Amino acid sequence: MHRSSTLAQLPIGSSALIHSMPTGRAGLTRLRELGLTPGVRVKVIRRAPLGEPLQICVRGSQIAMRNHEAAHILVTPAEA
């Protein structure tokens, strides 16, 4: 049930809950400040035509990031 994967692995169109991300890295702190805190629900909207970056919806805002960051963000599947 609690099989966790990373945000970078989520299929397009799916939703998940942020489980955890490593602390103390400036880039990830900024993502937190944009609303990606543990427990929050995110939805993967699309990838850019060349495969990166990744566009997600969090707290009603649209944010794009690269795999480099997304691969560090652990998520757990959200029901529904």
Partner 1 sequence: MSAPDSPLLAIVGNPNSGKTTLFNLLTGLRQKVANYPGVTVEKKIGECWSQHGKKLRLIDLPGAYSLNARSPDEAVLRDVLLGRRADTPRPDRVVLVLDAANLERNLYLASQILELGLPTVIALNMIDVAEARQWRIDVSALSTELGVPVIPMQATTGKGLLELKAAMSRADLPRPRWHSAPLPEDIRASVQATRARLLASGAIQEQASLLEPLYLLSDHDPLHAGIRDEQLAQIAQGRDALEKAHPGWEDQLVQDRYAAIEKLCARVLIRPECEPVTFSQKLDRWLLHPVLGGLFLLIFLVFLFYLIFKVAEGPMGWIEAAFASLGTWVTGLMPPGDLRDLLVDGAINGVSGVVVFLPQILILFFFIGLMEDTGYMARLAFIMDRLMSLVGLNGKAFLPFLSSYACAVPGVMAARTIDSPKDRLITILIAPLASCSARLPVYLLLLSALMPESVSLWVKAGIMVALYALGTFGAFVFAWILNKGIMRGASAPMILEMPAYRLPSLRSILLLVWQRARAFLVRAGTVIFGISILIWAASTYPKSDSPDASMRLEQSLAGRAGHLIEPIIAPLGFDWKIGIGLIGSFAAREVFVNTMAVVYAVEAGDEEDMTPLRDRLRQETRADGRPVYRPLVCISLLVFYVFAMQCVSTMAIVRRETGSSRWMWFQLACLSGTAYILSLLIYQTGSALGY
**Phi and psi at residue 55, in whole multiples of 5°?**
-105, 125
14 binds partner 1 (CB under 8 A): no
Identify the residue among 41, 59, 71, 78 touching partner 1 (CB under 8 A).
59
Structure tokens at 55: 């566009």
Q: Does 31 bind partner 1 (CB under 8 A)?
A: yes
Q: Check binding of 12 to partner 1 (CB under 8 A).
A: no
Between 4 and 38, name the residue whose CB sits nearer to partner 1.
38
Helix (H/G/I), strand (E/B), else coil: 7: helix
Q: Between β-strands 5-6 and 61-65, what pairing exists: parallel, antiparallel or unpaired?
A: unpaired
Q: Does 41 bind partner 1 (CB under 8 A)?
A: no
